[in-house]
Amino acid sequence: MTALTELSLCAMREGLGRGDFSARELVAAHLAAIEAARELNAFITETPDLALAAADAADAALARGEAGPLAGIPLGIKDLFCTEGVRTTAASRILADFRPPYESGVTARLKAAGAAFVGKLNLDEFAMGSSNETSAFGPVVSPWRARGSNAPLVPGGSSGGSAAAVAARLVAGATGTDTGGSIRQPAAFTGICGIKPTYGRCSRYGIVAFASSLDQAGPMARTVADCALLLEAMAGHDPRDATSLEEPVPAWSQLLSGDIRGRRIGVPREYRLEGMSADLDALWQAGAAWLRDAGAEIVDISLPHTMEALPTYYILAPAEASSNLARYDGVRFGLRVMPECGSLADMYCATRAAGFGAEVKRRIMLGTYVLSAGYYDAYYLKAQKVRALIMRDFETAFGTCDLILTPSAPTAAFALGGKVSDPIAMYLNDVFTVPASLAGLPAMSVPAGLDPQGLPLGLQVIGRPLDELGVLDAARAIERAAGFAAAPARWWGAA
């Protein structure tokens, strides 16, 4: 029999329904895998007791025939989602001991669906990073290694713990959040699937805020169907988030067919970057060919402001972050550092100096700068206008195509420590993911192949607002054609 941890989430659900194994057995198998994989540093907080209690409740519900759609499924939660009574750190020293007295909208839905949370997953501090190296709890190590090498690689970021845990078979699926690519880029780096839905699909209530006009939650899992099932459980209107959409949640898990006959797939010429690796270019072309073979029509499209998207993002996101992170002042929750005989203002400054890491400080400073008197119009307002042009590019493109196909990230996973000293080189990781974030569009990364070093590469599908189904179907078609079955060879643990 296949190890329980190797099953897809959908297969786990079927097995539980048939009684092939109990939720307790399933969760226990994952807890053992987590214990053996501490070298990956994927978790900040493990919650085995709560997971087993949820498993027992799921077994009882299954026996009564009243099980929710995710009953007994072991999930990891990015440590940016508030979980009632369970430490929520945002991977920052400033929240190192924060225990939320309430549950986030998304995790409340997953709990109600019966999921068993095995722990809180590591991330870049406040989700600011593309390699999971800015975490105050140490970097996550990717379960993947280049062929013939023992050098540690990054899992991508900011949802690096989520990506590593799913790829290493420590969880069936995980929550991620995506502000500029934080679900899609780590999914691509670790050979898994991840979807950022339309902005507003998932409630932001109880998610530690980074850049509120961009932040969106989504699932990460090993198959497209698993993501569809998770997204269905996570999405839905929440009156506690003023930007939450009042739209019905389609039954994506039922509707997913992978049928893309007659759909027009746009390939944006501006995404063919100078210096793009031949492997990535070849994979992108293969992806287009797979979709054509599946009955889609490939059309050449133009997104003229593609190259302006990253600079726009790196004005808007830090501006929103500097405002959102003003709340960490040592008064109501989180770290407090009180200099001797200091004033209230001294306490603010000392608390924030001790509590925030270098990347968070960098973004707070940049954001404060672009919002400050004399610079607001030149930077912030200008970026908001360019954002309008980027959105218009997509609207125009969707006049001639239904979905857009691009690579997910410009490279495969890089070495731990390889880019930390150069912020702009790190920011360039998000060149393909940021435009869809700025436009609020649903976008998904699906694993499509391996590079010559044996490392995963992903393709991204972008859809119209609310067309998660189109995105999922195209991703399913790619998944089917690519036949991606690679998994990281286990080097961690005692085995």
Partner 1 sequence: MAVDEETIRRIARLARLELGEAEVARLADEASKILEWVEVLGRVETAGIEPVSAVIPKPHRWRADEVTDGGLGEALLANAPARAHGFFAVPKVIE
| Selected binder of partner 1 within 81, 189, 252, 348 (CB under 8 A) | 348
Using CB under 8 A, which residues numbered 15 to 34 contact partner 1? none
Give the nearest distance from C-beta 180 to partner 1 in angstroms.
Answer: 13
391 burial (CB, 10 Å; 0-12 / 13-18 / 19+) is middle
Our finding on whether 372 is near partner 1 (CB under 8 A) is yes
Our finding on whether 330 is near partner 1 (CB under 8 A) is yes
The set of residues, in sequence order, having a beta carbon less than 8 Å from that of 351 and lying 6+ positions away, is: 94, 328, 329, 330, 334, 335, 336, 337
CA distance 47 to 99: 14
| Selected binder of partner 1 within 18, 148, 248, 332 (CB under 8 A) | 332
CA distance 61 to 55: 10
The set of residues, in sequence order, having a beta carbon less than 8 Å from that of 272 and lying 6+ positions away, is: 281
Cα distances from 183 to residues 34, 188, 208, 401, 487, in angstroms, run 21, 9, 16, 24, 19
Using CB under 8 A, which residues numbered 77 to 106 contact partner 1? 97-99, 101-102
| Selected binder of partner 1 within 312, 324, 408, 429 (CB under 8 A) | 312
Q: How many CB atoms lie within 10 A of CB 68?
A: 17
Choose the binding region for partner 1 from 163-171, 219-227, 328-336, 468-476 (rule: CB under 8 A).
328-336
Choose the binding region for partner 1 from 132-140, 144-152, 239-247, 453-461 (rule: CB under 8 A).
239-247
36 burial (CB, 10 Å; 0-12 / 13-18 / 19+) is middle
Our finding on whether 336 is near partner 1 (CB under 8 A) is yes
61 burial (CB, 10 Å; 0-12 / 13-18 / 19+) is middle
Active site residue 277: no
Active site residue 120: no
CA distance 467 to 378: 35
Pick the closer one to partner 1 by CB: 311 or 454: 311
| Selected binder of partner 1 within 250, 287, 334, 470 (CB under 8 A) | 334
Long-range contacts of 335-343 (CB under 8 A, 24+ apart): 335/93, 335/94, 335/95, 335/96, 335/97
Binding mask 349-368 for partner 1 (x = CB under 8 A): xx-xx--x----xx-xxx-x
| Selected binder of partner 1 within 302, 384, 411, 453 (CB under 8 A) | 384
Give the nearest distance from C-beta 151 to partner 1 in angstroms.
Answer: 27
Q: With beta carbons less than 8 A apart as the criterion, state whether 30 and 171 touch.
A: yes
Using CB under 8 A, which residues numbered 408 to 467 contact partner 1? 423-424, 438-440, 465
In the set 78, 111, 120, 419, the catalytic residue is 78
Active site residue 203: no
CA distance 124 to 468: 26
Our finding on whether 129 is near partner 1 (CB under 8 A) is no
Give the nearest distance from C-beta 215 to partner 1 in angstroms.
Answer: 12
In the set 22, 142, 158, 408, the catalytic residue is 158
Binding mask 270-309 for partner 1 (x = CB under 8 A): -----------------------------------x-xx-
3-state secondary structure of 120: strand
Cα distances from 26 to residues 61, 143, 425, in angstroms, run 15, 21, 41
CA distance 330 to 347: 7
Give the nearest distance from C-beta 443 to partner 1 in angstroms.
Answer: 13
In the set 92, 130, 182, 203, the catalytic residue is 182
Pick the closer one to partner 1 by CB: 24 or 382: 382
Q: Which of 85, 186, 81, 82 is nearest to 140 (CA)?
A: 186
Pick the closer one to partner 1 by CB: 372 or 396: 372
Please give the size of the binding site for partner 1, defined by CB under 8 A: 69
Give the nearest distance from C-beta 479 to partner 1 in angstroms.
Answer: 28
CB burial string 412-446: b at 16+ within 10 A, e below: bbbebebbbeeeeebbbbbbbbbbbbbbbbbbbbb
| Selected binder of partner 1 within 166, 193, 265, 315 (CB under 8 A) | 315
Give the nearest distance from C-beta 447 to partner 1 in angstroms.
Answer: 28
Give the nearest distance from C-beta 145 to partner 1 in angstroms.
Answer: 31
Q: How many helices (H) and strands (E) does the chain have?
A: 16, 11
Tracing tokens 């369970």 back to the chain, one arrives at: 86
Structure token digits, residue 11: 């297969």
Our finding on whether 70 is near partner 1 (CB under 8 A) is no
| Selected binder of partner 1 within 213, 277, 411, 453 (CB under 8 A) | 213
Our finding on whether 199 is near partner 1 (CB under 8 A) is yes
CA distance 325 to 481: 44
Give the nearest distance from C-beta 455 to partner 1 in angstroms.
Answer: 28
Pick the closer one to partner 1 by CB: 286 or 349: 349
Active site residues: 78, 158, 182
Binding site for partner 1 (CB under 8 A): 97-99, 101-102, 198-200, 213, 239, 242-243, 245-246, 305, 307-308, 311-312, 314-315, 322, 326, 329-336, 338, 342-345, 347-350, 352-353, 356, 361-362, 364-366, 368-369, 372, 378-379, 381-389, 391, 423-424, 438-440, 465
